[in-house]
Structure 1
């Protein structure tokens, strides 16, 4: 199934890139997603290419009951965003991969950071979600898509608060 989610950020693209590369911001959005346990790793810098890797354990209550047996009481999610260096206007492209450990569920796609005004940037995640589970694949895909959309909705809220608190999304 195809999944596309757009987040609007009230800052310029350079500041948005600094925010996305800031481990404190990444940790804030992972914690806000309801993670029971988490790990955050950011390599590179916002001035160049950077990669954000998160691992989080989430309760499996968002998964339909008939397929919880495939994942147990919690879902271990690994997300990797590999961002290219910024263009002169601050725009960036990258790749995104989301995997659920122990379940044949994977999202692969592109992520883009697009300036749309002097203090407005659009963050777009666009990819294909696939669950290789006979009979229940489409139900798992729907549940995973809901969970991903929900996590990105939380990210929109965390980003708005982060930008309100940090202004220019300075690098540590």
Structure 2
């Protein structure tokens, strides 16, 4: 499944980058989708965390009632204009799945735009593609919530 999503924030790239490496922001993002976070670790150039959420019924036979995953978001050093590129990797635990995306953060008018592009795959013969389609709305919601949580964070 292809990932292609964009969020626009009313702040300069340096402030948005700081938000996206703030553990409390990620706690809020995942709380809004019904997940919990743990082991949130700011890294030299990003953030690493574990999350858990109620598993969709379609994957409960594989992972149980809770879907756990590990997420890493890393950013390159900012360019002269403040723009950045990065990488987002999400590895669900207990199933052969992975989301790998490229992130970009650029100035746009009075604010910034964050774009994720990449791919989410579930490597299970016969049903993998069907499960990817089932997971699509959950991934989309997680990215949409970043917009909502970001707007609240930056307004505060």
Map of 2:11 onto structure 1: 11
Equivalences, count? 156
| Deviation sequence 1:15-39 (CA, Å, 0-9, x none) | 1111112222222222223114533
**Does the CA contact (< 8 Å) of 1:78 and 1:100 recur in 2?**
yes
CA drift at 1:123: 0.5
Map of 2:51 onto structure 1: 56
Q: Secondary structure at the match of 1:4?
A: strand
**Does the CA contact (< 8 Å) of 1:14 and 1:89 recur in 2?**
no
TM-score normalised by the chain length of structure 1: 0.84
- Listed as ranges, the matches of 1:66-77 within 5 Å are 67-77=59-69
Map of 1:47 onto structure 2: none
Map of 1:82 onto structure 2: 74
**Does the CA contact (< 8 Å) of 2:3 and 2:101 recur in 1?**
no
TM superposition outliers: structure 1 runs of 4+ over 4 Å: none
CA drift at 1:56: 0.7
**Which is further off, 75-84 or 34-43?**
34-43
**Does the CA contact (< 8 Å) of 2:3 and 2:120 recur in 1?**
yes
Q: Secondary structure at the match of 1:24?
A: helix
Q: Tell me, which stretches of 5 or more residues in structure 2 are unaligned?
A: none
Q: Secondary structure at the match of 2:52?
A: strand
**Does the CA contact (< 8 Å) of 1:31 and 1:38 recur in 2?**
no
1:163 is aligned to 2:135: no
1:149 is aligned to 2:144: no
- Listed as ranges, the matches of 1:112-131 within 5 Å are 112-117=104-109, 119-131=110-122
**Does the CA contact (< 8 Å) of 1:36 and 1:59 recur in 2?**
no
**Does the CA contact (< 8 Å) of 2:27 and 2:36 recur in 1?**
no
1:38, 1:107 → 2: CA distance? 19
TM-score normalised by the chain length of structure 2: 0.92
2:150, 2:92 → 1: CA distance? 24
1:108, 1:42 → 2: CA distance? 19
- Equivalent residue for 2:131, pick from 132, 137, 140: 140
Map of 2:27 onto structure 1: 27
